[in-house]
Amino acid sequence: MASSPKDLHFVLFPLMQQGHMIPIIDIAIILAHRNATVTIITTPVNATRFRPAITRATEANLKIQVIELQLRLADVGLPEGCENFDMLPSSDLFGKMYAAMDMLEQPSENVLRRLTPPPSCIISDNQFPWTTDLASRLGIPRFVFHGPGCFTYVCLNIVMNTNILNEIESDSDYFTLPGIPDRIEMTKAQAGGWGKRETKQMEEFFERMETAADAANGIVVNSFEELEPEYVKLLEVAKGKKVWCIGPVSLRNRSFLDLADRGNKAGIDEHECSKWLDMKDPRSVILVCLGSMSSFCNEQMVELGLGLELSNVPFIWCIRSITDETHRWLSGYEERVKDRGLIVRGWAPQALILSHEAIGGFVTHCGWNSTLEGVSAGVPMVTYPQHADQFLNERFLVDVLKTGVSVGMDVPVAVGEQDKFGVMVRKESIKMAVERVMDDEGEGKARRERARELGEMAKRAMTEAGSSYLNTTLMIQDVIEELAKNTKQI
């Protein structure tokens, strides 16, 4: 029976998507620093993406390992090697990825039953519903990891478990979300963009996911209590279980290499990026980074670039996917903005860039990781959501924290559908939002001060005297108590 963290063995299952995988890896290393043994279960392609961070952890004598399992992609009709959601050309294929993930249940159990020391607790993404059954068969607790923060999950819980969306006829009609302390207005399309259930397969999957989450022993959230105190309590009441806010987990990355390697291999030399920023004035540069699964057609990409050019604000613009057409346009564009604009092709070391004193604002797609990294950096944000939970995260920044300025994106665009929509946000709107966020006077000054205060709160939460550090301790203690309870029942 475990009596201290050094006797515990946590097994973590990260979802095969950057926005979910990155914080789970940070959580794994945080737990290993608490003297627990940690095993991460993932696939070969995904293991490659975070291997440098795990290698540094093992070299520091942390008890952490990665076990790789193969997804049976051919059996579900996906090409070999297509092991991450950001490798899928269309959201229509997500159901096939979920089917392949389901096939990992038996291989995972075979692995876990051979682990030494035996597993004490599973922490898995909520999109692995079968891990609740697996934990039950092993007689250990399972905590569910929620990608977004408490505000967003409270809102999603209302949307998914009430008839509110059925009462609204048009996808474009705005309505007010009931049962929460802040006035949040959204369209039906924005609120219902996560967990789409167009097929019977997806309907059944989300029902399984909700049932498994209800059966979990607790909820682990990458957030901190001071950021959204009312929503932490509301989530606990809604789900009837303990919620542990143990973030922002990105702040466990303190070294240059930890920040630079967080996620995929960067599309620019990290030192080159830092040198470019070193030449800029403090808080003068805006970072533009719109996620690993951004949905932009070439025309919208051009419009974004022109808006940045019109703003006359120095910027770093990270572009994940570049078509031949975009590449041709960029060659002339880069020449025009070379004195104040830096283009990063591919993955960007976002956390490293945001930590630089030259960064004064952030244009973000409002994925929760990016949202929280922006909060932790203490910078105001231009919100440019595209799909899933991002519109709810936008409302949190704009309406609750009041550190965000909306760019005016109203209609969700699913992965792979960007060419159907064309230009959704014009260059003039982008220019105006960037200028408002970078403004140091009046409303802009107040927004910047609120952002700075939140950044300080985030850092304090992760110190040894902070709320997130304490919550990690309490979560570990809860595992010890659950194991003791299970032992007595046996």
State pLDDT tens for residues 261-311.
545 455 566 778 889 999 999 999 999 999 876 767 889 999 999 999 999
Partners of 278 in beta bridges: none
Mean pLDDT of all residues in 402-430? 87
Question: With 0-12 CB in 10 A as exposed, 13-18 as middle and 19+ as buried, what is 178?
Answer: exposed
Q: String of b and e for 195-215 (b: at least 16 CB within 10 Å)? A: bbeeeeeeeebbebbbebbee
**What was the pLDDT predicted at 146?**
85
Q: Let me know if residue 334 belongs to a domain.
A: yes
Instruction: For residues 477 and 433, state if they share a domain.
Output: no
Pull the structure tokens for residue 244. 């542990």
Confidence tier at 34 by pLDDT (50, 70, 90): very high
From the list 271, 300, 272, the residue with the least C-alpha distance to 288 is 300
Instruction: For residues 53 and 197, state if they share a domain.
Output: yes
For residue 131, pLDDT beyond 70 = yes
Supply the CATH number for residue 151's domain: 3.40.50.2000
Pull the structure tokens for residue 103. 């096939």
Instruction: For residues 120 and 208, state if they share a domain.
Output: yes
For residue 1, pLDDT beyond 60 = no
**What was the pLDDT predicted at 261?**
54
Question: According to the per-residue pLDDT averaged within each range, which of 246-260, 413-427, 435-449 is highest?
Answer: 435-449
Considering the chain, what is the average pLDDT of its residues?
90
Instruction: For residues 325 and 183, state if they share a domain.
Output: no
Q: What is the pTM of this model?
A: 0.92
Mean pLDDT is lowest, of 73-77, 206-210, 242-246, 428-432, for 206-210
Question: Cα–Cα distance between 266 and 259 in angstroms, integer?
Answer: 11
Instruction: For residues 484 and 428, state if they share a domain.
Output: no
Mean pLDDT of all residues in 56-64? 95
Pull the structure tokens for residue 186. 């959204």
**What was the pLDDT predicted at 77?**
94
Q: Let me know if residue 256 belongs to a domain.
A: no
Pull the structure tokens for residue 189. 């399309």
Residues 395 and 313 sit within 8 Å (Cβ to Cβ):
no
Pull the structure tokens for residue 177. 């979300």
Residues 417 and 295 sit within 8 Å (Cβ to Cβ):
yes
Q: Let me know if residue 253 belongs to a domain.
A: no
Separation in Å, CA 298 to CA 242, 264, 413? 45, 23, 14
Confidence tier at 422 by pLDDT (50, 70, 90): confident
For residue 242, pLDDT beyond 60 = yes
Question: Cα–Cα distance between 57 and 51 in angstroms, integer?
Answer: 10
Q: Let me know if residue 255 belongs to a domain.
A: no
**Total structural domains within the chain:** 2
Q: Count CB-CB contacts under 10 A for residue 309.
A: 18
* Helix (DSSP H) and strand (DSSP E) numbers for the chain: 21, 15
Residues of the domain holding 379: 265-459
Instruction: For residues 210 and 327, state if they share a domain.
Output: no
Instruction: For residues 70 and 211, state if they share a domain.
Output: yes
What proportion of the chain, given as a percentage, has pLDDT over 90? 71
**What was the pLDDT predicted at 257?**
58
Helix 442-461, helix 368-377: angle, nearest 10: 100
Mean pLDDT of all residues in 141-162? 92
Instruction: For residues 322 and 438, state if they share a domain.
Output: yes
Instruction: For residues 28 and 149, state if they share a domain.
Output: yes
How many angstroms from the chain centroid is the CA of residue 252? 15
Q: Let me know if residue 254 belongs to a domain.
A: no
Instruction: For residues 269 and 404, state if they share a domain.
Output: yes
Pull the structure tokens for residue 50. 């975070």
Q: Count CB-CB contacts under 10 A for residue 93.
A: 18
Q: Let me know if residue 281 belongs to a domain.
A: yes
Separation in Å, CA 376 to CA 28, 293, 351, 371, 482? 20, 22, 10, 9, 33
Q: Let me know if residue 258 belongs to a domain.
A: no
What digits encode the pLDDT tens for the residues 153-209? 999 989 888 888 888 888 888 999 999 999 999 998 898 766 555 678 878 888 898
SS3 state at 360: strand
DSSP state string for 435-484:
HHHH--SHHHHHHHHHHHHHHHHHHHHTSTTSHHHHHHHHHHHHHHHHHH
Instruction: For residues 323 and 431, state if they share a domain.
Output: yes
Mean pLDDT of all residues in 11-37? 95
Alpha helices in 70-166 (DSSP H): 73-76, 94-102, 105-112, 130-138, 150-161
Say which amino acid occupies 350. Answer: Q
Pull the structure tokens for residue 136. 């039950």
Mean pLDDT of all residues in 227-235? 98
**What was the pLDDT predicted at 401?**
98
For residue 248, pLDDT beyond 90 = yes
**What was the pLDDT predicted at 165?**
83
Q: Let me know if residue 252 belongs to a domain.
A: no
Helix 298-311, helix 427-438: angle, nearest 10: 40
Residues 131 and 13 sit within 8 Å (Cβ to Cβ):
yes
Separation in Å, CA 280 to CA 242, 270, 276, 309, 316? 45, 16, 7, 17, 11
**What was the pLDDT predicted at 236?**
97
Instruction: For residues 47 and 91, state if they share a domain.
Output: yes
Question: With 0-12 CB in 10 A as exposed, 13-18 as middle and 19+ as buried, what is 103?
Answer: middle
